[in-house]
Amino acid sequence: MTPPEAPQDGTHATKGITAPAVSLRLETLTKRADFQRASRAKRVATPGFILQMRPRREDEPSESPIRVGFTCSKKVGNAVARNRAKRRLREIARLTLPQTGRAGMDYVFVGRREATAALPFDQLLADLARALDTLHGVKK
């Protein structure tokens, strides 16, 4: 059995997004204290998710200039729905934060019920761009 061939014309590729020239791996937040500190920081609510951002202190060691965390409560749905929502959030973070994220910041994505897993992927990307502009204070 052979796998199906990928389309040669790029019809399934996401338009307008290029991967960074250098592979910048985002460090993932795992400790509860990091999530709690981010919950007290600046936040922006979008239709698909909530984005929280906080600057790290100098005494907080980190191997990566940008750290990111993902969370979905049981309100989002069962384990399958929560995992699907987090996968989508991880992908928009992977595509966007290396170019537009700021060094020394922690970003936390919070999934929303019936939205994160259901909205079109392009809308999630646009929501993230708007949320980052708001958090970074970019005027348009």
**Residue 57 tokens, joined:** 């202190």
Say what the pLDDT of residue 125 is: 95
Q: pLDDT by residue (tens digit) across 102-114?
A: 888 999 999 999 8
Sheet holding 42-45, edge to edge: 27-28, 66-71, 105-111, 49-55, 42-45
Q: Which CATH architecture has domain 27-136?
A: 2-Layer Sandwich (3.30)
C-alpha 121/C-alpha 41 separation (Å) is: 26
**CA triple 77-80-86, angle to 5 deg:** 85
Closest by CA to 96, choosing from 121, 117, 61, is 121
Predicted local confidence at residue 39, as pLDDT: 92
Phi, psi of 73 (to 5 degrees): -80, 175
Q: What is the pLDDT of residues 32-62, one digit of tens each?
A: 999 999 999 999 999 999 999 999 888 777 7
Domain locations in the chain?
A: 27-136
